Amino acid sequence: MNPITLYGIPNCDTVKKARTWLAGQGVEVTFHDFKKAGVPVAKLPAWMKAVGWERLVNRQGTTWRKLDDATKAAVVDEASAARLMAEQASVIKRPVVEWADGRVTVGFDEAAFASHAAKA
């Protein structure tokens, strides 16, 4: 089985909740810090296939709200979403988790995490 990798930003509250929950369950996780290591651009297509580009782009976050209207309007498909996510890591909904079973989830949902962690 593959190791579990959690992608995000360390000071993000949702990432903190996810990491704390996983640690509390004794689940070993590799953390990929978008701020230090960057966005793994090669992974974006698989993430978008798994969860959809619309879910991966966090339109509720501060980073999105600070973008100019033209930049927001230009995000219309996978290619344009991937370009924005590669340039602006903070626009990616967090955490992105690659589970040991190969599945990808976005955000923190305790029930979903419990289901995936049980398979780890």
**Residue numbers annotated as active site:** 12
- Closest listed residue to residue 3, CA positions, set 120, 111, 116: 120
Q: From CA 20, how far away is CA 14, in angstroms rounded?
A: 10
Q: What share of the chain is helix, strand, coil (3-state, %, to 5)?
A: 50, 15, 30
